[in-house]
Amino acid sequence: MRLPGLRRLRPATTPGRLRRSAAASLAAVGLLFAAAAVGTAHAREGFAVIGHGAGAKVAASGDLYYALSDMDAQTANMLLVWQRSEEDADRAQRAYDARRDDAGRAVVQAAQLAEGDRAEERNVREVVRGLVAYQRLVTEARVLAEQDDDPDPPEEAVELYREATDLMRLELLPKAYNLTLDSGATVRATYEDKRASVLLWAGLTGGAGLLAVAALLWTHHEAAARFRRILNPAVAAAVVGALVLTAAAAGMLVLQAERMRQAKEEGLDPLLALSRVRAVCTGMNGDQSRFLLDREGADTYEQVYLQNARSLLYVEGDDLGDYYDGVDRAVGEYPKGDGMLGILGREAGELAEQGRSGEVDEVLRAYRAFTRADWELRRTAAEEGPGDAVEVRVGEVQSAYEEFDAAVVELKDTHGRNYEEAVRAGDRGLTGWDRGLPAAALALAVLVVVGIYPRLAEYR
């Protein structure tokens, strides 16, 4: 029994069958083209956000936070050493000026990048306004400190500084930090969406490609065997071409998805975490100076220091004493031992899981040295008074801090390079496809037409 539908599917005449197979081939090639084009567009959009737009914002606002936080730390240092050592005062002054310039540059960049997002624009504007007010307070405090010969800055100067540091820590820094987080959120959402799309369309490209190869083989059968020939060169070339195009396009899309993952997970994520580590530690370094400078708020600054330290590397315990011991133990046991918490702790944990604990060893050791120097600072302040502690602050503590910061920057730069390389590779991997893809699809179509045209002509 024959179904009527089946009859229509199998046209009786040879040219009819040939035309149908060729039409199917052309449609399948069209689908291959469409799937690859959509996939490429998703990859391009993904890299535009992760590699350029929001990714750049993450880096720029991270720099802004660091510059602001260190500016405030340097202000405290400056006031602390102003009448004690001309050399230290000069150094603090130079560091402050350098950070102020960095902050100025970073805030301009952040403003440019925030353009178009109203909440972010407003955030940046408020940072600019606050920065002006902050600098005015610092200048006033400095003038007061200069007029006084006592090694400890006058109470009025400390009060002005307290006002300035509150402005910085309660208003400016949170806004700068939230800018980074918001850009990071955009990167995450784009990454998840685009990477899934690119992989999906890579699969569809493969499917459409196989369909095109099958249709082309069918066309070849109709154009060669039915005409008692072994080979139809044009259609055979189209079969090979379709195979190559499918493999290249699907392969390229899978590779782009992988580069996107590298750019985010091995580049931007750790980069973001390490800029946070750096920023938090500058804040801790500032808290050490504030602890000595503002004796009235010393308890609070010590508590804030502990809180920041815990957010950086968390270990169990009640007070600072427990914290020093805990860090000593955790760093000693790393990469074994319980998983560490806190921004640096989680980062170290992830690297250990990937068998790359060596990369963070230096940073952890430098952090342990920094906490040991902090112990010495607080011991000296308690036993020998704040005057002697200032010496420890500008000596031992400062060099331990600088070593830690340098180690963090080095690791951060490694990830920065990973990120840039992945983004560059991603951009490079997409060049040429804009024109190459339609040209290749068109060439396949031309080959099909060229292959069947003479055969159809035989029937005219």
What is the C-alpha to C-alpha distance for residues 313 and 327, in angstroms, rounded to an integer?
8
User: Is 189 near another protein (CB under 8 A)?
Assistant: yes
- Tell me whether residue 304 or residue 360 sits nearer to another protein (CB atom): 304
The owner of tokens 């000595």 is 292
User: Is 435 near another protein (CB under 8 A)?
Assistant: no
Q: Are 437 and 300 in contact (CB under 8 A)?
A: no
With CB under 8 A as the contact rule, which of the stretches 75-83, 131-139, 170-178, 252-260 interacts with another protein? 170-178
- CA within 13 Å, CB half, 390: 22
Smallest gap from Cβ 97 to another protein, in A, equals 26
**What is the phi-psi region of residue 191: left when phi exceeds 0, alpha when psi lies from -120 to 50, beta otherwise?**
alpha
Give the three-state DSSP class for 341: strand
Q: Which two tokens stand for residue 238?
A: 């189209």
Smallest gap from Cβ 429 to another protein, in A, equals 22
With CB under 8 A as the contact rule, which of the stretches 91-99, 117-125, 231-239, 385-393 interacts with another protein? 117-125
Q: Which positions from 290 through 319 interact with another protein, judged by CB under 8 A?
A: 299-300, 303-304, 307, 310-311, 314, 318-319
Please give the angle made by the CA atoms of 167, 168 and 169, to the nearest 5 degrees.
100
- Residue in 122, 229, 295, 379 binding another protein, rule: CB under 8 A: 122
What is the C-alpha to C-alpha distance for residues 386 and 293, in angstroms, rounded to an integer?
8
Q: Which amino acid is at 3?
A: L
Q: Interface mask (CB under 8 A) for another protein, residues 1-40, using x and -?
A: ----x--xx----------x--xx--xx--x---------
Q: What contacts 366, CB < 8 A, 6 or more positions away?
A: 400, 403, 404, 406, 407, 408
- Tell me whether residue 27 or residue 244 sits nearer to another protein (CB atom): 27
What is the C-alpha to C-alpha distance for residues 440 and 382, in angstroms, rounded to an integer?
77
Smallest gap from Cβ 341 to another protein, in A, equals 4
Smallest gap from Cβ 114 to another protein, in A, equals 13
Q: Which two tokens stand for residue 444?
A: 């396949």
- Tell me whether residue 123 or residue 232 sits nearer to another protein (CB atom): 123
What is the C-alpha to C-alpha distance for residues 253 and 426, in angstroms, rounded to an integer?
10
Q: Which positions from 191 through 210 interact with another protein, judged by CB under 8 A?
A: 196, 200-201, 204, 207-208
User: Is 183 near another protein (CB under 8 A)?
Assistant: no
Smallest gap from Cβ 147 to another protein, in A, equals 29
- Tell me whether residue 313 or residue 400 sits nearer to another protein (CB atom): 313
Minimal CA–CA distance to 249: which of 418, 423, 439, 421?
Answer: 439
Burial status of residue 303 (CB atoms within 10 A of its CB: 0-12, 13-18, 19 or more) = middle
- Tell me whether residue 21 or residue 109 sits nearer to another protein (CB atom): 21
CB atoms inside a 10 Å sphere around CB 131: 21
What is the C-alpha to C-alpha distance for residues 421 and 423, in angstroms, rounded to an integer?
5
How many positions of this chain bind another protein (CB under 8 A)?
Answer: 46
- Please report the DSSP string for 48-69 in residue order: IIIIIHHHHHHHHHHHHHHHHH
Q: Which positions from 43 through 102 interact with another protein, judged by CB under 8 A?
A: none
- Tell me whether residue 350 or residue 427 sits nearer to another protein (CB atom): 350
Smallest gap from Cβ 200 to another protein, in A, equals 5
Smallest gap from Cβ 373 to another protein, in A, equals 21
Q: Are 269 and 255 in contact (CB under 8 A)?
A: no
What is the C-alpha to C-alpha distance for residues 334 and 329, in angstroms, rounded to an integer?
9
Q: Which positions from 206 through 235 interact with another protein, judged by CB under 8 A?
A: 207-208, 211, 215
Q: Are 215 and 28 in contact (CB under 8 A)?
A: yes
User: Is 440 near another protein (CB under 8 A)?
Assistant: no
Smallest gap from Cβ 431 to another protein, in A, equals 25
User: Is 329 near another protein (CB under 8 A)?
Assistant: no
With CB under 8 A as the contact rule, which of the stretches 75-83, 119-127, 254-262, 424-432 interacts with another protein? 119-127
The owner of tokens 């009859």 is 7
Smallest gap from Cβ 356 to another protein, in A, equals 21
Q: Which positions from 252 through 281 interact with another protein, judged by CB under 8 A?
A: 276
What is the C-alpha to C-alpha distance for residues 349 and 365, in angstroms, rounded to an integer?
15
- Residue in 53, 154, 174, 395 binding another protein, rule: CB under 8 A: 174
Q: Are 422 and 265 in contact (CB under 8 A)?
A: no
Positions touching another protein (CB under 8 A) are 5, 8-9, 20, 23-24, 27-28, 31, 119, 122-123, 170-171, 173-175, 177-178, 181-182, 184-185, 188-189, 196, 200-201, 204, 207-208, 211, 215, 276, 299-300, 303-304, 307, 310-311, 314, 318-319, 341-342
